[in-house]
């Protein structure tokens, strides 16, 4: 069963928005690394603190964009990670209603592990999620 045309358009728009946000983040990192007047240690520390907060929140926004979609694989992974970020203190918890196998997941985050996404993690998971939405 393939996605409806309107769902496909929504997923494509979401894909473009995600690409723009990742580009903006990477542009910020590039500009910060060239900044003067601040030590590289302080810049690296600031970016290290910002990156997981930014991409964890983008994951929540991604999950909220398609609340009606159910499924396994990347769809279930996004739902579980978003729920953990919103309601579980950022630690992935098992959910008896959702089959989750960390070894078969995109990010391979184990139950009980703290979620701290980086740009590459989010890019990979969002691509797999949107492909599953469109399938």
Question: pLDDT tens digits, residue range 104-129?
Answer: 999 999 999 999 999 999 999 999 99
pLDDT reading at 21 higher than 60? yes
Q: Give the integer Cα–Cα distance in Å for 6 and 25.
A: 29
pTM: 0.81
Residue 114 φ/ψ, nearest 5 degrees: -75, 140
Q: Which positions ≥6 away from 102 have C-beta within 8 Å? A: 108, 109, 110, 111
Give the length of the chain: 135
Which DSSP category does 111 fall into?
Answer: T
Q: Ranked by mean pLDDT, which of 48-57, 68-77, 116-125 comes out on top?
A: 116-125
Q: Give the integer Cα–Cα distance in Å for 83 and 85.
A: 5
Q: How confident is the model at residue 8 (pLDDT cuts 50, 70, 90)?
A: low
Average pLDDT for the chain: 88
């Amino acid at each position: 069963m393939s996605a409806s045309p309107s769902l496909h358009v929504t997923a494509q728009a979401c894909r473009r928005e995600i690409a723009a946000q990742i580009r903006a983040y990477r542009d910020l990192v590039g500009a910060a690394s060239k900044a003067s007047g601040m030590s590289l240690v302080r810049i690296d520390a600031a970016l290290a603190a910002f990156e997981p907060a930014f991409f964890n929140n983008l994951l929540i926004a991604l999950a909220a964009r398609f609340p009606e979609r159910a499924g396994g694989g990347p769809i279930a992974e996004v739902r579980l990670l978003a729920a953990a970020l919103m309601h579980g203190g950022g630690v992935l918890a098992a959910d008896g209603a959702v089959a989750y196998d960390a070894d078969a997941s995109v990010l391979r985050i184990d139950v009980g592990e703290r979620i701290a996404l980086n740009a590459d993690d989010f890019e990979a998971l969002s691509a797999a999620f949107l492909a599953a939405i469109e399938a």
